[in-house]
Chains A and B, each alone.
Chain A
Amino acid sequence: MDSLLLSQYLIAGLVIGIIYALMAIGITFIYSIMKMINWSMGEFYMMGSYLQYFLVVYILGPHLWFVGIPISMAVIFFVGLYIQRFLLKPMFVGEMERKDEYATVITIAMMVFFRNLAVVLAGPNQFAPPDYASPTYIGPLPVSGNRFVALVGTLLILGLFYLVVRNTWVGRALRGSAQNRVGIQTAGVNVLRVDQIAFGIGVSLAAAAGALLAPIFLVWPENGAVATMKGFEIIVIGGLGSIPGSLVAGLLLGLVESMGSVLISPSFKDVYGFGLVLFLLAIRPTGLFGERQRVA
């Protein structure tokens, strides 16, 4: 096999893998704290991409695209806070009891609602913000400047996220809540408030992915569907609730898709990812970094 082509596939797989990880990390973060799956995560990705497009094209201008990303994240963070407060909090009856089916119904309803709202407000058309950077090379692979920016941006956001979770009071409260929702209350932490913050952070990560990837995957009402699908593949591979798992699984998925394409056929690119999911479910149902949970 042509070694140049092989190295191009490897690099392309790593680049898309890191981007996949950003798509998945919000889902797994929300699950790790609230123990619920947000099925509308792709729609927060979509909202982030629309906001970024609006900011870059109408307010900031193409040279200040990087300012749009934190603004999009902040706006979606507050949207998330309010959605959690009014739509999801009621599932915690008497502070602790969850009604999982309630969360499923609400988040799926939000998915349909936001997707169709985007069609009504912005039409079914596609939009593309101006390129973030000029085309470049990573090793032997010619890549778009946008992909390079997305790669660097993802690493920065994940690094920042790690620092916040590791070194701040809010981060400690979030980690405590993820470990033991009852125990953390004895330390005086309002677990429902922590849920609200976790939901806000989780959806703002999805918005960051949407804003970063807007010039690559464009802006349209359904652009979050792929993010959701890849996100769920990754959390199954990495382990539900494991943040390092999401990162590793994202890279793994990107590499498997890319190498499967070169070694077998690119026609079945998505099948390789699902094959990996099935394989892991068979040998390690909790995922690479997941742990067995005791259900009361």
Chain B
Amino acid sequence: MKLQSRSYLRYAVIPLLLVMVLFALPDGVGAKEPVKIGVMTPLSPPGATLLGKFILQGARMGAEYVNSTGGVLGGRNIELVIEDDSGTPEKGIAGYRRLVTQKGVSVIIGQVHSSVMIAVGDLAERLGVPIFSTQASSKTITEKHLMTTFRTHAIDPDRARMWLRFIKEIGFKRIAILAENTDYGLGLVDETKAGMAKMGLKLELKSLIFDKKVVDLTPQLLELRGWKPDLLIDIHSVPTTAYLMVKQAFDIRLFPSTPILASFDWPGRSEFWKNLGDKGNYILFISYYHPKMKLTERGEWFKKEYLGKYGEFPIYPAFNGFGQIMILADALNLAQSDKPAELITALEKGRFTSWNGLVTFERGEGPYWHQWSPPLMVLQYTRVNQSPKDAPILYPPDMKTSDYTKP
């Protein structure tokens, strides 16, 4: 009998206490539905999983930042719904459908591969939920002028123009391009040729295309060594095979006597020196971020918190994942709604503070539709184990901190 009455007491008192606690909470806490933002990015092979990981880290910290500073739409939290597209268009399409029709997200960020973003962009236009390219750079993505497509990443023409200006300044004449057979690689070869014509540059150009999955580029590199270029532009979208290329170029004595310019900032990652050691010295690379750059207050917060959490400075994909959440938080507040159509209107009208400055999405010409480009620069490592923050900026002139160092 005694045991039974204790059980009754437990069953009656605990729910009563819970109800009392709920009533005692301040208005809105636990009651308001969160705003759902999808993060669809490659988190498993064959996608660029490392980029996906960094973007997700940035987005998570972005949501933490927003939720800890009052949330959006009058106190609603941001909830991230994660989807892995494995870097393949078919999984991207299935993932987008799932996020929109089953999970009810208002917007999706995190796209890395141009092929996935192009495929998903058309579906997004039909279903009406906006999608952001976080690191997919093919100009086709924004050239289609889709209402639901947005991007805060550099596009191919800007990148090609940047290295052509750099080549002109240094005075290189024979340029070799080693490019992968993807939208990214082939697009950049075309943009380089178009840019040369537009700028009136008379360069000798030799381009070799390789399959994205090839791990032994010795035959291509041997041919280039015989051709004796002044500069080799490397266009890989996945750092793994880019590391292999640098190693192989070093082994056959092509690099560093012939400088290599990497088409994006993979040499800025912490594993660069671990994987390449002294073989990586003197590499040139295009970057969208330099640790000594002036950031916004939000950007500085992220840099500091990221360092505390992960023990290393954040790199660009993480910044961009974080920045897109900041933009969306501002856009949601501007729209006063989490409905996709109203969010799109707000994104087109507003000016948003990201990690590195003010961002707008205008209906620009050609690929500059709903496009915001980060600043581009050419960096160079000049000693082994050099930190990206000490890497000199060689170009553009207004950011330049040092001259090109010939190996």
Contacts and interface: CB of A to CB of B under 8 A. Distances in A.
Interface of A: 2, 5, 8-9, 12, 16, 115-116, 119, 123-128, 130-131, 135, 141-144, 147, 216-218, 220-223, 225-226, 257-258, 261-262, 265-267, 269-270
Contacts of A131: 277
A220 B240 contact: yes
Contacts of A126: 239-240, 243, 271, 275
A114 B49 CA distance: 16
A158 B240 CA distance: 29
Nearest to B248: A144
27 contacts: A2-B226, A5-B222, A5-B226, A8-B222, A9-B219, A123-B50, A124-B49, A124-B53, A127-B274, A128-B275, A144-B247, A144-B248, A144-B250, A216-B247, A217-B215, A218-B240, A218-B243, A218-B275, A220-B240, A225-B213, A258-B219, A261-B222, A266-B222, A266-B223, A267-B220, A269-B210, A269-B220
Contacts of A269: 210-211, 214, 219-220
Interface in B332-371: none
Contact of B46 (A8, A128, A222): A222
Contacts of B218: 12, 16, 258
Nearest to A15: B218
Given A115-B45, A128-B275, A266 B53 contact: no
Nearest to A254: B216
Contacts of A221: 45, 49
A123 B269 CA distance: 14
Interface in B184-210: 208-210
Contacts of B223: 261-262, 266
Interface residues of B, number: 37
A123 B50 CA distance: 8
A48 B218 CA distance: 24
Contacts of A16: 216, 218
Interface of B: 43-46, 49-50, 52-53, 208-211, 213-216, 218-220, 222-223, 226, 239-240, 243-244, 247-248, 250-253, 271, 274-277
A4 to B, nearest CB: 9
A142 B252 contact: yes
B120 to A, nearest CB: 21
A225 B215 CA distance: 10
A225 B50 CA distance: 18
Interface centre among A16, A124, A226 (most CB of B within 10 A): A124
A222 B219 contact: no
B281 to A, nearest CB: 15
B45 A222 contact: yes
Q: Which 4 A-B pairs have the closest CB atoms?
A: A261-B219, A124-B49, A144-B251, A266-B220
Contacts of A216: 244, 247
Nearest to A4: B226
A124 B247 CA distance: 20
B244 A217 contact: yes
A54 B318 CA distance: 28
A220 B215 CA distance: 12
Contacts of B222: 5, 8-9, 12, 261-262, 266
A113 to B, nearest CB: 12
Contacts of B274: 127-128
Contacts of A123: 50, 53
**Of B53, B209, B219, most A-chain CB atoms within 10 Å:** B219
B77 to A, nearest CB: 28
A143 B251 contact: yes
Nearest to A272: B219
A2 B225 CA distance: 13
In this complex, the member of B53, B223, B277 whose beta carbon has the largest number of chain A beta carbons within 10 angstroms is: B223
A154 B219 CA distance: 21
Given A128-B243, A266-B219, 10 more contacts: A115-B45, A125-B271, A126-B275, A128-B276, A130-B277, A142-B253, A143-B252, A217-B215, A223-B215, A270-B211
